[in-house]
Chains A and B, each alone.
Chain A
Amino acid sequence: MEDSEIIELYWRRDQSAIAETSQKYGGFLWNIAWNVLRSHGDAEECVNDTYLRTWNAIPPARPFAFRAWLGRVTRNLSLDRWKQARAEKRGGDGMEVLLGELDQCVPAPHGVEQALEDREIAGFISAFLRTLPQEPRIMFLRRYWYGEDLADIAAKLGCGQGKVKSSLFRTRKALRAYLEKEGVTL
């Protein structure tokens, strides 16, 4: 079923919208949640929460890119759940590793920093990513948007893990320099 048809089901408050979403994107969403949480139960719950949030959000929302929109909801729910799990000292350490790497992108205070909303910073980052060649851009997003392992990324892209690792290192450094140049503070 086309995304627009699924969204139409939500608008009609037809509960088959959730079944259709699950059938088409369930695996995709589960992978995102798993990459962050490394817990089958928690990942399953996050995906279910995603369906509920989607049901509550559409209408009035009418997502343009439905898959990315769903993925974003799952990603946020997973991060929330990871924080909760961390507070309770349980769960895997996949997210700790991801955040440790991203720490290298956080700009040092310098100049007249801009106090920006998340969306504006995301706009900067999107602009930055568009300047990269496609390969490092995809590597970066598969690692830090989808939370995938280096081995998975390397397998999917037909590259060695070392190449992925060094590409990510260069992109993180470039992103940090870019954010500093733009005067973005986090």
Chain B
Amino acid sequence: MKAERLFRVLGLVDEDLIEEAASPAVCQRKFPLRKALTAAACLVLVCGVSFAWLVTGGFHGMGSSAPGESSGSSGSGIATDNEPLHVDGTTFMSYAGPVFPLTLTEEAEGLTAERKTTWDFVPGTYQDGSLRQWGATVTDSYTLVNITENDQAVTALYPFTGSFTELASQQPTVTVNGEEAEGALYAGAYAGGFRDAGVDDGSTWNLQYPDSWMDYKALLDDGSYLNEALGDAPVLDIPVTVYEFTDFTAPANYDAATQAIEFTIDQQKTTVLTYGFNGASWDEDTGWRQYSYFVPNGVRRDKDPKLLVVLGEDIKDHTLGGYENGGCEKEIDGVSCTVTRREMTLDQVLDQLCRNYLETYADWQYGMDTDELAAVPFPLFRRAVGELMAEYGPISETVKDRYAGGRLDDIISETMSMDRVLYLAVPVTIPAGGQIDIAFELWKEPSFDYGCSGSEHVGLQGYDFVTQLGSNLAFTEQRAALANTDSIQIERQNFGFDLEHGVTRVTLNPETEHYYLEIRPKE
């Protein structure tokens, strides 16, 4: 029931709003005196602001040109006295990442490149046929010129931002000399970091996605991110003991019948990971643990397996109990399951769980359709899960609070949706003294602010572009162009486009690392 989901979703609105509503100020009818006082206060405030404006000569930076942007802010890109200056573009609430330049797996002597990038703003349509101005088709074309006397065989790598969830719509297509070509896909690790949960305590409960091109610069600048993406996957051949729970039964008169397993571990010697469990309790002092799940009554095997994965010393003397509900307080009879103990490696466990996850993903209410699912290559996904586990999971020396509880469900599901940089690898040969054309076409979602955030940037669509970041190519020229601009207007930019005067093609300054374009659909 949709309203029921909405009711549940409403439960997750920001806590300060809930607090505000819990202690409402009584809405009194306003009296004339109060109105007069309010108006007087506003007048004082306006006068104060004007005075401050005069003595400071306006806020710093307003009306000045953008430093370090030699081909930049012309036309609509110039800030007026009434709007803040966006020296480096707007920081949006949802950041789509820049369009990156092509690079090669290894630097090639005697190879130069020309680049032309076009944003095509032809509108899409809603299901009912009405026009929808959202995103742009980007064609990023390169001419690779070989000035040596030998043919050069290289692997071209085209980086793009994305996630496994969105891969079907984000993955570029590639042509070499006008012919469609195939490319192998590589996926970099999670591109973001972690942050606290609202209290500045250094904790790492929340994800922190990249929110500017500078975050990607920090990620890609030294080449280590790409090297890791192309390198070997982490090996997690750690021996583990796996307890799998199957053949569930529970009395029919309990809707939330719960099965729990209890045991006590030496926390220095044993780490417990779970998958498919709904609850966990533990005592840090004694090492007592309890893990529980709602019994999928009458089902031999739930679609999601239920596993306890024990690293280190095996658990001893575990007990199973059946309970009325997830509180695990009131015991009931008739709750049972089969527990199978196996010895495996952590890699084997992750293999099993990742396959299961992808196979059942489409069944979820938020799932993909079949085509989208097919776009997620199992080896890449599986590898990314291993990377996240090794880098930030309970087996890592730098474990993050978010994953310290050992829930493999979280690690696997978040691997699917995390922002990362992916690479399309295309082998090409450039003949001696000759050249080839290689072009990538991709649909690029814009960066944006949420519709009713109250932000001044609502309705803006931002597109970022970097000229050199992460590339080992020697560019002799970079150009940019816009197409099908009838239904957009440019709000801010540092490219130098001027739609009013028909300037839709510009030559870029290779010394300028970052270009930005912010457009607004015309009404």
Residue ID in chain B nearest A181 by CB atoms: B451
Contact yes or no, B126 A145, CB < 8 A: no
A106 at interface by CB-CB < 8 Å: yes
B450 within 8 A of A: yes
Give the complex CA separation of A76 and B10 in angstroms: 10
Residue B197 is within 8 A (CB to CB) of chain A in the complex: yes
What is the distance, in angstroms, from B318's C-beta to the closest C-beta of chain A?
Answer: 19
Cβ–Cβ < 8 Å partners of B28 in chain A: 158
From A56, A67, A80, A129, contact of B22 by CB (8 A): A67
Q: Does A156 reach chain B (CB closer than 8 Å)?
A: yes
Let me know if A115 and B451 touch, CB within 8 A: no
The 8 Å CB contact of A131, one of B203, B368, B452, is B452
Instruction: Say whether A49 contacts B327, CB under 8 Å.
Output: yes
- From the candidates B1, B10, B25, B367, name the one contacting A115 in the complex (CB within 8 A): B367
Q: For A40, what are the chain B residues with a Cβ–Cβ distance below 8 Å?
A: none
Residues from chain A with Cβ under 8 Å of B22 in the complex:
28, 67-68, 71, 146
A156 contacts across to B, CB distance below 8 A: 24, 26
Q: Check B3–A79 contact: CB distance below 8 A.
A: no
Which residues on B sit within 8 Å (CB–CB) of A117? Answer: 366
B6 touches A105 (CB 8 A): yes
Q: How far does the alpha carbon of A86 sit from the alpha carbon of B369 in the complex, in Å?
A: 33
The answer to whether B21 and A111 have CB atoms under 8 Å apart is no
A11 to B329, CA, bound (A): 20
Bound together, the chains give a CA A123 to CA B13 distance in angstroms of: 6
Q: How far is the CB of A51 from chain B (nearest CB, A)?
A: 9
In chain B, positions 194-214 with a C-beta closer than 8 Å to chain A are 197-199, 203
- The answer to whether B476 has its CB under 8 Å from any CB of chain A is no
Establish whether residues B3 and A127, one from each chain, have CB atoms under 8 Å apart when the complex forms. Answer: no
Q: Contact at B3–A100, with CB atoms within 8 Å?
A: yes
Q: Which residues of B contact A72 (CB under 8 A)?
A: 11-12, 18
Set B6, B17, B19, B199: member contacting A186, Cβ < 8 A:
B6
Distance of B139 from chain A, by nearest CB (Å): 22
Q: A124 on the interface (CB 8 Å rule)? A: yes
Are A118 and B12 CB-contacts (below 8 A) given A49-B327, A60-B401? yes
Contact A126 B17 (CB under 8 A): yes
Residues of B within 8 A of A131 (CB): 452-454
Q: Which residues of B contact A19 (CB under 8 A)?
A: none
Residues of B within 8 Å of A, CB-based: how many?
A: 61
Known: A56-B281, A126-B14, A156-B26. A110 touches B126 (CB 8 A): yes
Could you tell me the distance in whole angstroms from the C-beta of B10 to the nearest C-beta in chain A?
Answer: 5
CB within 8 Å of A: which of B358-396?
A: 366-368
Partner of B327 from A53, A64, A116, A125 at Cβ < 8 Å: A53
**Chain B positions 398 through 422: 1 when the CB is less than 8 Å from some CB of chain A, otherwise 0:** 0001001100000000000000000
A15 at the interface (CB under 8 A from B): no
Cβ–Cβ contact A158 & B27, under 8 A: yes
Flag if A146 contacts B10 (CB, 8 Å). no
B452 near A124 (CB under 8 angstroms)? yes
B423 to chain A, nearest CB (A): 26
> Are B2 and A186 closer than 8 Å at their CB atoms?
yes
A79–B7 CB distance below 8 A: yes
Contacts of B17 in A (CB 8 A): 126, 129-130, 137, 141
A84 to chain B, nearest CB (A): 5
* A residues near B27, Cβ cutoff 8 Å: 135, 157-159
Which residue from A87, A111, A137, A158 sits with its C-beta under 8 Å from B20?
A: A137
Which B423-452 residues sit within 8 Å CB-CB of chain A? 450-452
| Interface residue? B256 (CB, 8 A) | yes
Decide if A142 touches B15 in the complex (CB within 8 Å).
Answer: no
Instruction: Establish whether residues A62 and B199, one from each chain, have CB atoms under 8 Å apart when the complex forms.
Output: yes
A169 in the interface (beta carbon within 8 A)? no
Given contacts A68-B22, A158-B28, contact A109 B127 (CB under 8 A): yes
Contact B5 A186 (CB under 8 A): yes
Contact check, A65 vs B7: say whether CB atoms are below 8 A apart.
no
In the complex, what distance in Å separates the CA atom of A100 from the CA atom of B18? 22
Once the chains are docked, how many angstroms separate the CA of A79 from the CA of B6?
12
CB distance from B382 to the nearest CB of A (A): 22
Q: Which of B4, B6, B12, B124 has the most CB of A within 10 A?
A: B6
A→B interface (CB under 8 Å): 13, 28, 49, 52-53, 56, 59-60, 62, 64-65, 67-69, 71-72, 75-76, 79-80, 83-84, 87, 98-100, 102-103, 105-106, 109-112, 115-119, 121-131, 134-135, 137-138, 141-142, 144-146, 156-159, 178, 181-182, 186
Top 8 nearest A-B pairs by Cβ distance? A122-B12, A141-B21, A65-B15, A111-B126, A128-B452, A68-B15, A68-B18, A102-B3
